[in-house]
Every structure is written in structure tokens, then in C-alpha cells.
Amino acid sequence: MSFLADLVSLAAIGAGVFFFIAGTVGLLRFPDSLTRLHALSKADNLGLGLIVLGLIPRAENPLAAFKLVVVWALVLLSGASTAQLIGRALRRGRE
Amino acid sequence: MSVLPLLDVGLALLVVAVATWTMAARDLFASVLGYVAYGLLLALVWVRLHAPDIGLTEAAVGGGVTGVLLVTAGKRLDALKAATSGAAPRLRVKILAGALSALVAGALAFVVASLPTPAPSLAPQAAAAAAGPGAGLGNPITAVLISYRAFDTMLEKIVLALAVLGIWSVGADAAWGGAPAPLRKARPDGAMVLLAQILAPIGALIGVHIFWVGADAPGGAFQGGALLAAMWMVAMMARLVEAPRIGSRALRLALISGPAVFLAVGLAGIAMAGSFFAFPPAFAKALILFIETFMVLSVAVALPMMVAGPPEGGQEP
């Protein structure tokens, strides 16, 4: 059972790290701010979500697992809002 | 061979690199962003040094509140710069400033390098005092802050109130007693309003939680208060609430309540426990929580008022 949990952790955290790396490469390589924002949100939302998923089996108790999910939810909220704000500020700047 | 030491070295190098970049950045805004990133990295450093309490403070104050303060100050400086164009400092001044900075950094490095081993420390006395009478808290950091070095902690809160007073006194005479200018002039974006509406209640809850668990786990009055302050600032930026008038009695009472209650309890200690800032052991924990509640209030009020700035109105430049 613990072997299975470890396997889930390994797979999810590995996938999360992949999305973080992909997002970082996009952040460095994409041509303009809007596409860079797009890359960043993949790392934040999907990458962090997968890492949290991988950490849940390793949490000490259900409350700690819940806190991990709350951290992810808060990052989702602030990430989405700031991406909107930056995107709108960019569009205003272009007009 | 553990990979953690390698990560620590990487973190240390990153801190130095971000610090250098912050100083080298030409643009004021970029420099402020660098400083915020530097604060967040320092918070990680504190966690790695097994000091999560300081890490929390650094993340909330160094990363969050100071960042907002610097961005706001930068905006005001930009407005000033448009009105008066100052000449760039001359080469001689730059060399002098550089030499003085190098001297201070060199002196600090010399002092740190020539510390005796083991370094002289008050930690054993503080730990003994925190574990002894007048404590009753599970988190030794909070016990030291409130019990062993109570006087310093109270003075820190007085400094906060003085800083707010200093900022208020910069305002024009005609504006005295009025409200500070809103953090954002234009109608706020829908995304900002939504963020504030959802984040502020959750953040306030987490702030109170951090204060409450501070008695037994990492956290405490300052960290919790700083989080509450940040949530008030978010609400002010979304224009859900306006900054209060600085003449408001409730505001002024909240601002001084932390140090005032602390001082009153400290003076009562002379009668109750035999010395200034001594807590009777029977209900030390209740007293400490009582003091901390008002300190949270003071911190939560002082930090946003610093960011909001001096009162406006009357003849503004």
C-alpha cells in the first residue's frame, strides 16, 4: 500500500516538475508578455497542482493534506487574477 | 550524500545574485520587484535555518508589505520627478558613496569573521526564562518575545506608531485629520475586485489562525497582524473600503492599543508579580494572549496606514 502511495507521489511530483520546467522555458523563450503569461500560468496551476497531489499521500494527517490543497487553491486564485490584471494592463498600453 | 547541502548553496547563491540584480537594475519598478523576490528567498533561507517564525515575518513584511510600500513610494517619486528634474549625482559623490558602503560592508564582514567560537549568546538564559515562570507557551519564540524581552517588543510596537505619526505629519496642514488618498485613483478592474472579495476573508481567517497558533507553533502576533494588514490593503486597492480619516478616534485608539495595553499589563506586573513586565504564573498565558490580541490590532492598523500615506486634501501639490 505504501509502495503504491510512493509510486503515485513520484509520478505526480515528476509530472509537476515537468510542467514547472516547461513553464520556465516558455517564460524565458516566448516572444511577448501575453504568451509568457500563458506559460507562467501552466507552471503555477498545473505544476503546483500535480506537486500538491503528489504530496497529499505523504501528509502527516488529513488537516495537513487539506492545508496543501488550500495553498494550491490560493495560488490558483491569485495567479488567475494577477494574470488578468497584467493582461488588461498590457492591452490598455497597446491601444 | 544528501542533495540538501547543494540546494542550500544554490539558494545562497541565488540570494546574492538577486540582491546584486536589485541594486544594478536601472528601473525603479524592476528594482522593487527584485527586492520582493529577495525577501521571499530570504524567507526560504530562514526556513532552512530552522527559524520558521522569522521566515513568516520575512515573507509577510520583507516580501509583501515592504513591496507595496516601495511601489507606492516609487509612484509618488515618479510624479515628483515629472515636476522637478534633479541633476544626477556627480562622479565624486558616487565614488564617495561607494567607498563608504564598501567601508561599512568591510567592517561588518570583519566583525562577523572575528567572532569568538562559540559566539557569545543570551540564548540559554532566554530559553531558561521562557521555560520558567511567566511563560506557559508551547512556542519558545513567542515566550521570549513577550516574556523574556517584553520591553523590547513593546518598544518595537511604539516605533510602528511613531512611524505612522511621522508619515501623517508630512501631509499639508489643511489636510490634517482628513483621509489619505486612495491607493488607486481609477475605477478598479473587475479581476481586482473579485480577488479582494474572495482573498480578503480567507486571508483574514489565516491571519487570525497564525496569531492564535503562535502560542504553540510557528506564528505570532506580528505575522498574523501583517497578514491582516495585507488583506486590508487588498480591500483598499480594490476600493471595497476607503482609507479612514486620520482624525478618526477608533483608528487612533487601535493604533496605540497594542503598546498601551502592553505597558498597562507591564505596570500591573509590579503589583501582581513583584516586578515590571513580570506575569503572575497562574494566568500568564491568558495575559500574554490578551496583550497579543491588541498588538495584532496595532500591527494590522499601522502597516496599511503607512502604505496609505499622509492625509490629502486642501492645497495638494
Q: What interface predicted TM-score (ipTM) does this complex get? A: 0.82
Q: For residue range B210-232, list pLDDT tens digits in order.
A: 888 887 777 788 889 999 999 99
What is the pLDDT, as a whole number, of residue B185?
Answer: 67
* Number of compact structural domains in chain B: 3
* B132/B81 same-domain check: no
Check A88 against B198: CB less than 8 A apart: no
* B63/B210 same-domain check: no
Q: In whole numbers, what is the pLDDT of chain B averaged over residues? A: 84
Buried/exposed code over B302-316 (b: 16+ C-beta within 10 A; e: otherwise): bbbbbbbbbbbbeee
* B80/B193 same-domain check: no
DSSP string across B233-297: HHHHHTTSSPPPPTT-HHHHHHHHHHHHHHHHHHHHHHHHTSSTT---GGGHHHHHHHHHHHHHH
Choosing from B100, B120, B140, the residue where a domain stops is: B120
CA distance A36 to A39: 5
**Grid coordinates representing A86?**
497584467
Taking only the tens of pLDDT, chain A with its 95 residues reads 678 888 989 999 999 999 999 988 988 888 888 888 888 887 878 899 999 999 998 888 888 999 999 999 999 998 888 888 888 888 887 76
The alpha carbon of residue A90 is apart from the nearest alpha carbon of chain B, in Å, by 13
- Is residue A46 within 8 A of residue A19, CB to CB? The reply is yes
Partner A contacted by B198 (CB < 8 A): yes
By Cβ distance, the residue of B189, B195, B202 closest to A88 is B189
Choosing from B31, B66, B86, the residue where a domain stops is: B86
* B192/B280 same-domain check: yes
* B99/B168 same-domain check: no
Please state the pTM of the whole predicted model: 0.83
Cβ-based contacts of A77 with chain B (< 8 Å): 195, 198-199
Q: For residue range B228-263, list pLDDT tens digits in order.
A: 999 999 898 888 888 888 888 899 999 999 999 988
Structural domain of residue B291, as residue ranges?
A: 122-317
Partner B contacted by A78 (CB < 8 A): yes
CA distance B41 to B159: 26
* B175/B314 same-domain check: yes
* B232/B290 same-domain check: yes
**Grid coordinates representing B271?**
503589583
Q: For residue range B86-113, list pLDDT tens digits in order.
A: 667 788 888 999 999 999 999 999 998 8
Q: Which of B36-45, B83-92, B304-313 has the highest mean pLDDT?
A: B36-45
By Cβ distance, the residue of B189, B198, B199 closest to A85 is B189
Check A77 against B191: CB less than 8 A apart: no
* B158/B262 same-domain check: yes
Check A81 against B202: CB less than 8 A apart: no
